[in-house]
């Protein structure tokens, strides 16, 4: 199982609950909080049983908690005022600033190792509609930028390396062509070959983007 799979039930429940909460919903903040605490506890236990380190589980939990809190606090449910005073981010991380912390923690992740799996959870939350500090309509490009940048980080390093090399090679080629116009015919295939690694990188990027969009679509289909 991927790390994100352990937290999927909590993410699904949050989306489902937020869509059903109404301005006259009688559910109490305590009852709703217990529901999510139990789901999170189950996710943590299952991840621990699979050998996931506690530090990794805690880092993975932060975006999940931020996502759940945001859905509850932006709903029409009157109990959200009580929830705000005893939110999941307060309960697990003693913070009230998860909307900004989400992006700050995301920026601290490494490219490789367990952080790559944690980054996948952040991307899932963004795909499901998390906004955090970028909640204004004009902030939408910033969310898309964060999503695109972090998907690019998930590209294999050899793909990034090929892209860098192709850029350098292309620049060197152009300089050489300016200095040696008479040799143009000998190098007329070089732009084609230098484009191949770049196309491979773009294809890999699109694969990750489409894969994440597919996961999100499947989740939305399950809870709609």
pLDDT digits 0-9 by tens, 177-218: 455 444 444 444 444 444 444 444 444 445 555 555 555 555
Whether residue 182 sits in one domain with residue 115: no
Q: What does the block give as tokens for 11? A: 């993410």
Rg (CA), the chain: 22
Give the confidence band of 166 by pLDDT, cuts at 50, 70, 90: very low
Residue 62: which domain range? 3-154
Place of tokens 């009852």: 31
Q: Are residues 120 and 22 in the same domain?
A: yes
Q: Which of 131, 55, 136 is closest to 100 using CA atoms?
A: 131
- Token representation of residue 196: 């191949």
Q: So what's the pLDDT on residue 156?
A: 66
- Same-domain check for residues 56 and 146: yes
Q: How far apart are the first and last CA of the chain?
A: 24
Two structure tokens written together for 214: 């597919």
CA 223 to chain centre: 20
Place of tokens 């799979």: 5
**Residue 209 located in a structural domain:** no
Does residue 187 or residue 8 have the better pLDDT?
Answer: 8
48 within a domain of the structure (yes/no): yes
pLDDT of 112 reads 84
For residues 3-22, average pLDDT: 95
Asked whether residue 65 falls in the same domain as residue 129, the answer is yes
Give the separation between CA 131 and CA 117, rounded to whole angstroms. Answer: 20
pLDDT band at 65 (very low <50, low <70, confident <90, very high): very high
Joined tokens for residue 9: 């039930």
Whether residue 173 sits in one domain with residue 68 = no
Determine the pLDDT at residue 198: 43
Number of folded domains that form the chain: 2
In the chain, where does DSSP find H-type helix? 3-6, 8-20, 29-49, 54-73, 80-85, 88-93, 98-107, 114-127, 140-153, 157-179, 190-223
pLDDT for the residue 205? 46
pLDDT of residue 172: 46
Which of 10-24, 57-71, 166-180 holds the top average pLDDT? 57-71
- The phi-psi region of residue 184 (left if phi > 0; otherwise alpha if psi is between -120 and 50; otherwise beta) is alpha
Q: Is 26 inside a domain boundary? A: yes
Shared domain check, 83 and 179: no
| C-alpha to C-alpha distance for 126 and 213, rounded to whole angstroms | 10
Model confidence band, residue 157 (pLDDT cutoffs 50, 70, 90) = low
Q: What percent of the chain has pLDDT over 90?
A: 65
């Amino acid at each position: 199982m991927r790390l994100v799979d352990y937290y999927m039930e909590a993410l699904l429940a949050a989306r489902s609950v937020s869509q059903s909460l109404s301005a006259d919903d009688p559910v109490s903040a305590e009852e709703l909080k217990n529901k999510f605490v139990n789901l999170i506890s189950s996710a943590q236990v299952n991840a621990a049983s699979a050998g996931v380190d506690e530090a990794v589980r805690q880092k993975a939990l932060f975006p999940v908690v931020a996502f759940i809190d945001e859905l509850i606090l932006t709903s029409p449910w009157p109990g959200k005022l009580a929830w705000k005073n005893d939110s999941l981010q307060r309960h697990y991380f003693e913070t009230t600033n998860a909307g900004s912390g989400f992006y700050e923690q995301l920026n601290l992740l490494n490219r490789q190792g367990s952080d790559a799996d944690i980054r996948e959870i952040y991307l899932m939350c963004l795909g499901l509609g998390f906004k955090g500090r970028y909640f204004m309509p004009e902030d939408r490009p910033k969310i898309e930028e964060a999503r695109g940048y972090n998907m690019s980080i998930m590209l294999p390093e050899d793909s990034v390396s090929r892209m860098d090399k192709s850029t350098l090679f292309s620049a060197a080629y152009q300089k050489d062509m300016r200095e040696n116009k008479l040799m143009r015919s000998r190098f007329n295939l070089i732009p084609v070959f230098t484009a191949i690694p770049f196309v491979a990188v773009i294809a890999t990027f699109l694969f990750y983007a489409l894969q994440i969009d597919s996961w999100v679509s499947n989740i939305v289909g399950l809870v709609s």
